[in-house]
Structure 1
C-alpha cells in the first residue's frame, strides 16, 4: 500500500524542528513550571465575553462557541504541555485527490504546545528528532539550531473567574488558511486551480471538550476554477476535524529498532552520544501494552494488558461484513499470545448515540475501522504516534467499498482454474468474507506497527503451496504483511489447498520481538541484548527474514510473488491463466447486461500475467540482501546464482517473447473491443524487454562478472541468450509469423533507443559512459546484422524475407544517426 509512504512523510513534516534545551532529555518537573498569572485588569472582563447564550463544554480546555467564534480557556498548568494535533478529513467532494483521499484520511499530525508571550498566546510546533541532555553544554547549540515555528498566535482576551486559565479567541486557527492543518496542499491547489478561501462560506461547525482531548470540526470552502467534478459550481467544500490530545506525562519506555525485524520507526539523533558523531537511532512505533500481573507474566503465563487495543467498527459497515472485520482484527490475538498477552486486541461494534452520545469516529480517543463508500480499490491502516517515544495513540483503518471488486477479480483470475467458487462474479460470501478478513488483518498489522514484508513470500518451497496440509498450517507466506493475496501456484489436481493468505510464523515472531514486556529492563539500551538474542536464534531461517521490497534489487522481495522459485511459480501461474481465459465469457456473463465486467477481468488478467514476468525478470542481475550485523557470519549482499538467472531468461524466451495466441482469445475480443489487443500484448513484451535491458541491471551484471569471474552470468551471455531466443526462427531457418515479427522489430527499436539514450546521458552519468553497456548493445546489433545477412535465405517465406530487409534497414539507421 503505496499510500503508507505518503502518510509517513506527512507525519514527519515538521521533524526538522526541535524543542528547546529542556526537551532534549530531562523534562522539568511540574512544580518547576512557571505559571504567570497577570492581574485581570490587564485584560477584558471575562463576563463581558462569556455570558448567557454561549455554548460551553468542559474538558481538557473549556471551550466556548459564541456568534461563530471559538474561545479556549487554556489552563495555566496546560501551558507548555505536549499536545498531539491530528488533522483529518470528515467530508469531502467526490473524487477529491483522485479517489485516494477520503473521509477519515489523515492530513497531518504534529506535536504542539501553547506558550504565553506577554499578552499573547502562541501555538508552536515541537519536534523530537534531535536530542541532548539539558545539563549538557551542547544543548544550547541544539536549541539554537532547532527553533520552534509558531503555527498560530492570538491575544489573551481575559482570565477566567477563578484565575486558573487564559481565555483566547482561536477562531482564525480554524477559519483561515493554516497550511499545516488543512487538506488543500499546494499540489491540489494547483490541480484544481484554487483561487482563494471564501471566509463567508467557511466556519466552525462544532467544538467538543473531553478529559484528554479537544475535537473541532470546521468547514473550509474554496473558489476553484477546476473542481474535481464539473457539477460542483466552481466550489470545493471540505469538513475537517482537528483533534488536540494531551500526550501522557508518564512516557512509554521506547524500544530501539533493528532493521532485521520490520517495524515502522521514528528517527532520532542524540548529540550527547559518546560516539565521535551524533548518534542516529530509531524507535519502533507500537501500542503501550503492560501486563496487569507482571509476576505472572514473568512466569510465562498469558496475562491481559492493563489497556488493550480496541477497534470500533464504523456504523456504516454493512452488517454481513462485520463478523469478518471483527475476525480480521482479533486474529492478531494469536500473535500477541506469542508475546505473552491474552485479549490484547478487541473489536467492538460502535456504540449507539444512546449508549455513548460522545462517540465520534473523528475523536482521537477511538480507533475505528472505517467503511468508505468510494470507487477506490484499496485499504489502508495508518496510525497516530507519540513522536517522543513511538507510542501509537490511535489508528483508523480505512476500507474502500470497491476493494471487494479487486478481490473478486483476482480470485477468478488466479484461482478460477482450480476451484469452482472462483468461477462467478458473485463470489460466495464464505470466500469473499475470508479475503476481506485477511485484508483487514493486513491493515491492522500496519496499524500496530508492522510495515510490508515483501521478502516473506520467497521463504516457502514453491511446490509446498500445492499441499493442502502445508497451506492450511502455514498459509501462503510466513507473513500476512506480504502482498500474496491468492494462491496461483496450486493446480487443478491439488485438492483441499488453501487459496487465501493468512497470518504466519513471521508475524508471531515480529510481535513477540516488538511487544514482549521486558520488566527487568529499565532503559531501551537495557533491552538490546535480549532483542539481539531473539534475532540470532532465528538467523538463517528464511521464514523469519525481513525485506521491505522498496529500493533494493533483491528478487526475493518481489510484490505479489509466491514461492522460492519464481520461474516454477510463474509457469504454474501461466498454466492456470491459460485454463481461465477460454471460460471468462461464461464466468462473467449476466443476463441482460453487457460485457463491461468481462473487459475488466480480461484486462486485469493481462496485468497479472505481466506480474509473473516481472517476478522472473527480477532474478536477472538480481542481488540477494540478507540483513545482518557485524557479529553475524556471512555477507549481506550476494548476486543471484548464474543458473537461476539463466533459467529466468530461458523462461522469458519461451513464454514472454513469443506468440500469445492463448491471450488473444477471439471469443473475448469480439465482445469487448474493436481493436487494441495486439498492441496490449506488444506493450507487455516491450515492457518486459525494456526491463531486462535496463542499464542498472546490466551494470550489476558487469560488476558481478568482475567480482565472481567465470561463476557469473555475464551481461554478454544474457544479451546473446535474449537475441538467440527472440530471433530463434533466423537461427533455425524457419518462417516468422506476424506476432514474432512484431517482437523482433521491437527488439531492434528498443536496442536503438537504449543506445541513443545512453549516448545522450554520457555527460551526466559517468558510470554509464565508462561501462561496457554501450559497446555491448552495439555489438549485439552488429552481430544481428551479420547473422541476418548470412542466414536470411534459409527460409523461402516471402514475408519473412521482407521482414529481414526491414530489420537490416532499422539497424543501418541506428548506426547512421
Structure 2
C-alpha cells in the first residue's frame, strides 16, 4: 500500500569502477563511442574531439579513461548492438540538416544498451553563413576562409558532445548559458565581439570543453559508490552541492516564460545581450558588401548571406521577451531549499520592454541604400529558396518585407496571448508589476502615435504600425486567449480607433493613408471579432541550423 505506483530510473550506461573505494579508478569496461568512417577527415576528427569532452566529466566523477571515442573499425556494422555510434548522414534536398541522439534502453532497469547519434552533413551551414556575413572574407580576388572553417569545426565539436550527451541519458539544459557556458546540453549561439578596429572576432564562437553542469550530471548519474554507502544520502549530497554552486536546470519546459531558459542565445543576461547584439548587427549591416560572397558568385546571392545577419538578433528577441511577464521557477523538490517560483522585478521587465522596442525602430530595421542597390533578382538556375526573405514586390528584393519579418517577431512576442494573461495575473497579485494595458499603451505610443518620418524610414514605420495593429486585433479575436486579455486588447483597439478618427483630419497624406487602412481593419474586426482573420504577416526564413523544429522527443531520447 505504501509503495509508489510508478518507479523512475535514471538512464545510463553500465559503468563500474575496478576499485570503487579509490578516488580515481579505471572502469571495469569503459564506455566507447565509434564515429562514422565515412565522415570527411576534418569533420571526423572534430566529432572525435568533441565527443571525447565527456571524458572530462567522467574524470571529475572519479573515472580514469572511462569514456572513449574512436573511429568505427573497418568492416564493423553501425547497426550492431555492440557499438555506440555517431553516424554522419548526407540528406539530399534538405539544406538545414537534422541531428539527434537516441538510445536503446532496458525498460526494466534504465540501462542504456546502445547509443546512436545521427548528424546531418550540412549541420554547420547556418554557422558558415553567419561567419561569411560577419567576416566578409572574399575581397579583391583573394579570400580568407580559415576562420570560417575553424568556426564550423568548433560547432561540430560542440554538436558531437551535445548529441552524445543525449545518448548518455541527459536532457537539455537551456538555463546553462548564463552560468559560463555551463552545459553542452544547451543550444548555443556563436559568440563574437566587435573589435576596436571595426572587425569581428569569432575566435571564441563556441565552448572548448565540457561544461560544469555536465560534470555534475555525470557525478550524480554515473557515480559508483563503495559498498555500504547509503546511496540516497550520497546522491542528495551531490545534488545539494550542485545547487550551492548556482546551477539551474530548466529543460524544454522553460517554454516562452523563464527569463534565463533560452535556445540559441548567449550571455549572462538576455536583455543586455540583445542590446550588444543589436550594436554588432548594425555595424555589420552598415558595412555589408559583396565581400560576403565569393568571386564569380551572382550578386543576387548576397541575400543568402544577408538573411542570417539581418536576423542576427532573432533568438535574442525571444530570450529578452521572457523577462516581460516572465516567471523564474525551478524543478523544486520538497525540502531541497530551491525557490519554486518568483516574479521578475518590474524594473527588469521594463528594461526588457525598452530593449525590444529598439528592434522595431526605423533605424534598426533600415538597410543601407548602397546595399539594397546591389541585390538584383535571382538569375536563371538560382531558384528562390525558403531561406530567402518573402517579398511583396515580385522578383525584386524587398527591404520593407524583410523588415516586416523581423519586426513581426518582436511585436508578436510583446502581444503574445500567454504573456498577456500572465501580465494581467501578476499585476492583480502585485500592483507594482507591469500590466498588459500599460505595455500596449507604451507600444502604441512608440508606433502609431509617434511622428511619422519621411522616405524609406517612414515606410518602415508605417509597416510597423500595421503589424502592431494586426497583432493586437488577432489577440482580441483569439478565442484561445484568456477573456481578460481579449477584453483589455479590445479596449485598446477602441481607444486607438478614437485616436485615429481624431487624428485623420489633420494628418498629411502618407499618415492619412496609414490611418485609413488602420480604421478599415478595425471596422472589419468590429463586424464579428470571432470571425476576424487578418492576412497573415510575413514570417522569417528558417533560422535554426536544423531542418525541423528544435524539439526533443524526450520519451524516445531523440533530440533534433
TM-score, with length taken from structure 2: 0.81
Matched position secondary structure for 1:782: helix
Do the aligned residues in 1 keep the contact of 2:377 with 2:397 (CA within 8 Å)? no
Q: What corresponds to 1:347 in structure 2?
A: 69
Deviation for aligned residue 1:585:
3.8
Q: What corresponds to 1:700 in structure 2?
A: 422
Give the one of 252, 262, 284 matched to 1:549.
Answer: 252
Deviation for aligned residue 1:793:
6.3
When residues 324 and 583 of structure 1 are mapped into structure 2, their CA distance, relative to the original with a 3 A threshold, is: same
Cα distance between partner residues in 2 of 1:663 and 1:479 = 39
| 1:387 pairs with 2:107 | yes
Matched position secondary structure for 2:297: coil
Matched position secondary structure for 2:114: strand
**Counterparts of residues 87-486 of structure 1 (less than 5 Å):** 274-275=2-3, 278-295=4-21, 297=22, 300=23, 302-353=24-75, 359-375=76-92, 376=94, 377-413=97-133, 416=135, 427-460=147-180, 477-486=181-190
Q: What corresponds to 2:511 in structure 1?
A: 800
Q: What corresponds to 1:778 in structure 2?
A: 490
Deviation for aligned residue 1:601:
2.3
| 1:499 pairs with 2:197 | no
When residues 625 and 323 of structure 1 are mapped into structure 2, their CA distance, relative to the original with a 3 A threshold, is: same
Give the number of the structure whose alpha-carbon radius of gyration is greater: 1
When residues 696 and 404 of structure 1 are mapped into structure 2, their CA distance, relative to the original with a 3 A threshold, is: closer
Q: Residues 367-409 of structure 1, C-alpha deviation per residue, up to 9 Å, x if partnerless? A: 2222212244232222211111111111122222111323312
Deviation for aligned residue 1:456:
0.6
Cα distance between partner residues in 1 of 2:295 and 2:478 = 52
Matched position secondary structure for 2:63: coil
Do the aligned residues in 2 keep the contact of 1:702 with 1:715 (CA within 8 Å)? yes
Cα distance between partner residues in 2 of 1:455 and 1:779 = 37
Larger strand fraction of residues: 1
**Counterparts of residues 592-671 of structure 1 (less than 5 Å):** 592-595=296-299, 597-633=301-337, 635-656=339-360, 658-659=362-363, 660-662=365-367, 665-670=371-376
Identify the structure with bigger relative contact order (alpha carbons < 8 Å, sequence gap 6+).
2
Cα distance between partner residues in 1 of 2:80 and 2:523 = 69
Deviation for aligned residue 1:596:
6.5
Do the aligned residues in 1 keep the contact of 2:32 with 2:68 (CA within 8 Å)? yes
Q: What corresponds to 2:556 in structure 1?
A: none
Cα distance between partner residues in 1 of 2:272 and 2:377 = 33
Q: What corresponds to 1:567 in structure 2?
A: 271
Do the aligned residues in 1 keep the contact of 2:254 with 2:261 (CA within 8 Å)? no
Cα distance between partner residues in 2 of 1:667 and 1:527 = 68
| 1:756 pairs with 2:477 | yes
Do the aligned residues in 2 keep the contact of 1:292 with 1:305 (CA within 8 Å)? yes
Deviation for aligned residue 1:517:
0.8
When residues 683 and 534 of structure 1 are mapped into structure 2, their CA distance, relative to the original with a 3 A threshold, is: same
Deviation for aligned residue 1:599:
2.9
Give the gaps of 5 or more residues in structure 1.
1-272, 354-358, 461-476, 762-766
When residues 347 and 734 of structure 1 are mapped into structure 2, their CA distance, relative to the original with a 3 A threshold, is: closer
Deviation for aligned residue 1:551:
5.5
Do the aligned residues in 1 keep the contact of 2:36 with 2:85 (CA within 8 Å)? yes
Q: What corresponds to 1:264 in structure 2?
A: none
Cα distance between partner residues in 1 of 2:90 and 2:513 = 56
When residues 516 and 458 of structure 1 are mapped into structure 2, their CA distance, relative to the original with a 3 A threshold, is: same
Deviation for aligned residue 1:587:
3.4
Q: What corresponds to 1:719 in structure 2?
A: 440
Cα distance between partner residues in 2 of 1:293 and 1:501 = 33
Cα distance between partner residues in 2 of 1:592 and 1:495 = 27
Deviation for aligned residue 1:668:
4.8
802-811 or 623-632, which deviates more: 802-811
When residues 279 and 528 of structure 1 are mapped into structure 2, their CA distance, relative to the original with a 3 A threshold, is: farther
589-598 or 335-344, which deviates more: 589-598
Do the aligned residues in 2 keep the contact of 1:734 with 1:794 (CA within 8 Å)? no
Matched position secondary structure for 2:6: strand
Q: What corresponds to 1:210 in structure 2?
A: none
Matched position secondary structure for 1:393: strand
Deviation for aligned residue 1:620:
1.6
Q: What corresponds to 1:787 in structure 2?
A: 499
Cα distance between partner residues in 1 of 2:289 and 2:169 = 43
The alignment's C-alpha RMSD in Å is 3.0
Deviation for aligned residue 1:623:
1.0
Deviation for aligned residue 1:486:
0.8
Deviation for aligned residue 1:586:
2.9
Q: Residues 38-97 of structure 1, C-alpha deviation per residue, up to 9 Å, x if partnerless? A: xxxxxxxxxxxxxxxxxxxxxxxxxxxxxxxxxxxxxxxxxxxxxxxxxxxxxxxxxxxx
When residues 805 and 322 of structure 1 are mapped into structure 2, their CA distance, relative to the original with a 3 A threshold, is: closer
Do the aligned residues in 2 keep the contact of 1:383 with 1:447 (CA within 8 Å)? yes
Matched position secondary structure for 2:498: helix
Cα distance between partner residues in 1 of 2:467 and 2:85 = 51
Deviation for aligned residue 1:805:
3.7
Deviation for aligned residue 1:428:
4.9
Do the aligned residues in 1 keep the contact of 2:131 with 2:148 (CA within 8 Å)? no
Matched position secondary structure for 2:113: strand
Deviation for aligned residue 1:424:
5.8
Do the aligned residues in 2 keep the contact of 1:408 with 1:427 (CA within 8 Å)? no
Q: What corresponds to 2:460 in structure 1?
A: 739
Cα distance between partner residues in 2 of 1:688 and 1:424 = 35
393-402 or 631-640, which deviates more: 631-640
Matched position secondary structure for 2:119: strand
| 1:768 pairs with 2:482 | yes
| 1:811 pairs with 2:528 | no
Deviation for aligned residue 1:333:
1.2
Matched position secondary structure for 2:9: strand
Q: How many residues in Structure 1 have an aligned counterpart in Structure 2? A: 497
Deviation for aligned residue 1:597:
4.8
Do the aligned residues in 1 keep the contact of 2:327 with 2:343 (CA within 8 Å)? yes
Give the one of 207, 221, 241 matched to 1:514.
Answer: 221
Cα distance between partner residues in 2 of 1:453 and 1:328 = 18
569-578 or 372-381, which deviates more: 372-381
Deviation for aligned residue 1:663:
7.5
Cα distance between partner residues in 2 of 1:581 and 1:381 = 37
